[in-house]
Amino acid sequence: MPELILIVDDEPDIAAALDYAFSREGFATRVAHNGTDAIGIATTEQPALILLDLMLPDMPGTEVFRRLKSFATTAQVPVVMVTARGDEIDRVVGFELGADDYVVKPFSTRELVLRVRAVLRRSTTDDPAKHLSGGPYDIDLEAHRAFVGGEEVDLTSIEFKLLCALISCQGRVLSRQKLLEDVWDITAAIETRTVDTHVKRLRQKVGDDGTWIQTVRGVGYRLSEPREG
């Protein structure tokens, strides 16, 4: 049975183009032109992924996102935000909310399909290991829970994957491009600022223990015990 993609966009031409592109790639599709319809379809038809425009006629896309994440039936559905707004603050807000990816119009339909496939692969991959530990961090992979110094911390799915990647390679430097490949499953030349934004948010959430996540200037990041002084 083909995976269902819910396309939420109030521009008929764009929605139709996306509908055609994903149908041609073998996906099942549903289209909603406003937030109310999107919520209704998502909660009743259980899409595999939602393409969500941030600028909708009846409510902001961010509000649609928050409502979907509050329902048990849709809380784990991956969301790719699609918008004409390309300012960095908009991307940061989208990722802070927990979006799995963020695409700015105009975009390549082919690239969007590839990125959607990457998100779907991430959401269905099962790691055979049950726990990861490094420094003050402990990860329960089966329960999808992260602990810092014994205290649980609430992470988005991307932040969780990012921390897992750093722990798995503790002491080694991971380039931004490598992190894009491992965490976002993206091999194309996508802006590496995405990685920096998520590392910043992850450090903020883990508090003082964020010093374990070290920046290697001009290269990337590594998880290593901070030097005193």
- Residue 208 belongs to a domain with what CATH number? 1.10.10.10
CA 22, CA 6: separation in Å to the nearest integer? 10
Domain stop point among 72, 106, 124: 124
> Do residues 163 and 204 touch, judged by C-beta distance below 8 A?
no
Q: What is the pLDDT along the chain (229 residues), one digit of tens a residue?
A: 789 999 999 999 999 999 999 999 999 999 999 999 999 999 999 899 999 998 999 999 999 999 998 888 888 899 999 887 666 556 666 667 778 888 888 888 888 888 898 888 777 654 445 788 888 898 888 788 899 988 889 998 889 999 999 998 888 899 988 898 888 876 555 566 888 999 999 999 999 989 999 999 988 999 988 876 4
110 with 26, same domain: the answer is: yes
Domain presence at residue 229: no
Domain stop point among 95, 124, 153: 124
CA 15, CA 7: separation in Å to the nearest integer? 7
Q: Which helix (H) or strand (E) holds 61?
A: helix 61-70
41 with 24, same domain: the answer is: yes
Domain count, the chain: 2
Nearest to 149 by CA among 205, 229, 222, 227: 205
- DSSP assignment letter at 210: G
How much helix, strand and coil, in percent to the nearest 5, is found in the chain? 45, 20, 35
Half-sphere exposure of 32 (CA within 13 A, CB side): 27
Domain presence at residue 228: no
The CATH code of the domain that includes 14 is 3.40.50.2300
CA 32, CA 88: separation in Å to the nearest integer? 26
Domain stop point among 72, 103, 124: 124
Instruction: Report the DSSP beta bridge partners of residue 131.
Output: 140
Domain presence at residue 82: yes
Supply the range of the domain harboring residue 73: 4-124
CA 118, CA 161: separation in Å to the nearest integer? 14
CA 22, CA 112: separation in Å to the nearest integer? 10
Domain presence at residue 35: yes
The DSSP line for 94-158 is HHHHT-SEEEESS--HHHHHHHHHHHHHHHH---S--EEEETTEEEETTTTEEEETTEEE---HH
